[in-house]
Structure 1
Amino acid sequence: MDKWIRIFFYTFMVLLFMNGCNSTKGTEDIFQYKGSFVGDNSAIANIVHQLPGGEHIEEIELNTSVEPFGIVLTYDWMESEKRYIETAINNATFIFTLVQNAGWITFHFNDYEYKLGKVELQKWYGDELREYSSEDELKKQIETFLEDESKVKLLIGA
């Protein structure tokens, strides 16, 4: 019996140790960056890397010399044009929700470029983006609007 208790104990300790080594990446709440500014390099990088395609970011350029302030994101990523458009809309929505003074974002995906403005995106949604307070709530809004291809084409200009 003593042998079985020791085996159980060591097994339990190994499992506990392995659980403690699990990465917590991806569990970080992106809304902790709400209220950030374009000039905050660290916050912008953390936001962008948590969004779809974040692992494919090649360059982040912050334009803070003239208002409205902007961000240029360059991706090294081979995907379909539809996926690029969805990513641009999704990521712009999150960035405009979280970053107070972002006025525009340009997305470079290989041969495709999309520029989205905060004012235009808010008109498209019919909502003030700063009013969102949770990732789930914002994701639902984005998914609803991405379902309507004619609305997407109107926004992107395709």
Structure 2
Amino acid sequence: MAENLYLGRQPATMENIKELKSLGIKAVVSCLEPWEFLVPLEKYRAQGWTCLPINVLDFCAPEDEDIETAVKFIDRHIKEGKVYVHCNAGKGRSAVVVAAYIMTETNSSDIMGIISSMRESRTQVAASITRWPFSDQARALWRYAKNIRVAAEESKLSS
């Protein structure tokens, strides 16, 4: 995965929050429904973390606009320190966001290669996020990859 970018499950206790703080986390993207939080966002912010909550149903993908917002948030904050991206289990919703960030950062639309690389660091990344067209998460990644390809082509044409 990208340097200073962490993917995982949601912190379930204040002890988990302290562990993340000891890693040097400075910002957090939470891909959860509001009722899913086991530790309230106020506790995250009390650590001095900047937080971006994204409301996403389990087993679904974030909206395209939310993915774009999260990628920009990560890009802005990763320069200042480590960023933690999570959903409940850290394998679906949050993995979509991390894959989109890596696609943007590397200017690559190689979803399978990126997911394979992510699985080397976090084996829990869900296989379903590559099952296009059946998985909502896979469809979101394919749309994002298409946008990267289109942007790259437009950049070539304007050069």
Common fold by TM > 0.5: no
Larger Rg: 1
TM-score between both structures, scaled by the size of structure 1 = 0.28
Of structures 1 and 2, the one scoring higher in RCO (CA 8 A, sep 6+) is: 2
